[in-house]
Amino acid sequence: MMIPSQRQDEILKILDTCEKVELSNLCKRLKATEMTVRRDLIHLEQKGLLERIRGGAAKIKRINTETLFEKKNNTMKEEKKAIGRKVPELIENNDTLFMNSGSTVLQVAMNLKELALKIITNNPMLSMVTFNEKSSLVLLGGEFRAESHSIIGDQAMAMISQIYATKCIIGVDGLSLKYGLTNSTFVEASLNKKMIDQTRGKVIIVADHTKIGKVGPFLTAPIESMDILVTTKGFPEEYFEQLRSKGIKIIVANE
């Protein structure tokens, strides 16, 4: 019979080879009761070594370094285009939108030309997008950050604090049931949070399925802060029920 530390080491080894595992499978492999394995999972989750999901556990995919915009823009391109085509269905004429930086949000912007909107963004790439002639684009002031092609800093934060949006469209680096919406840099996480806080309507998170289960070092907002998640095929089944139980609508863009 294994002692707790041996069982817990074995659980982590299992998660190194498969990103998630069912509780029943763990009980069988460890020759332990469900109650015993649950205690092990709680202990490991408290240490930040895994995330408990319905019916089992998942490996935490930590984001240790920031991915440059150029690389992001060439990753999961078809999935991001699908999200970009889907999100406009959630937007109405005369909406005031916060839109943050990122390649997925850029794809959304490229599909908004049929709508008359007021868009407030820290994403200078949006200045090259053709919008409806009745739309207006407000580019936040501040410091240009080359790594993410974004505007950051106190001036940008001050401008956001003076605006109330009817909806916001936010891209994130990671989305986790336990750790919420996260980013790889503090300045981006803080600005995204400010946009969410200043939104008086729906908070729309855009994240392809590869972002699900990832955890960045900086918290943007708790998972409950989003109203709608627009994602892609490959979205983990175990997330559906738990997110919906929190009142979050999930839209798979490329089904």
pLDDT digits (tens, 9 = 90+) for 219-252: 999 999 999 999 999 888 878 888 999 999 999 9
Binned average pLDDT, 10 residues per bin, the chain of 255 residues: 86 85 90 91 85 84 72 81 97 98 94 97 94 96 90 96 98 92 94 98 96 92 97 88 92 91
For CATH 1.10.10.10, the residue range(s) in the chain are: 4-59
Q: What is the pLDDT of residues 81-92, one digit of tens each?
A: 999 999 999 999
Q: Which is nearest to 223 in space by CA: 170, 167, 148?
A: 170
Output the DSSP codes for 79-97. HHHHHHHHGGGG--TT-EE
For CATH 3.40.50.10470, the residue range(s) in the chain are: 69-252
Fold topology of 69-252: Rossmann fold (3.40.50)
pLDDT of residue 153: 94
Q: Which two tokens stand for residue 219?
A: 């918290």
pLDDT of residue 236: 83
Using an 8 Å Cβ cutoff, are 87 and 169 in contact? Answer: yes
Fold topology of 4-59: Arc Repressor Mutant, subunit A (1.10.10)
Alpha helices in 136-185 (DSSP H): 154-160
- Please state, as a whole number, how many other Cβ atoms lie within 10 Å of the Cβ of residue 200: 10
Q: What is the pLDDT of residues 50-79, one digit of tens each?
A: 888 888 888 888 887 777 666 676 688 999
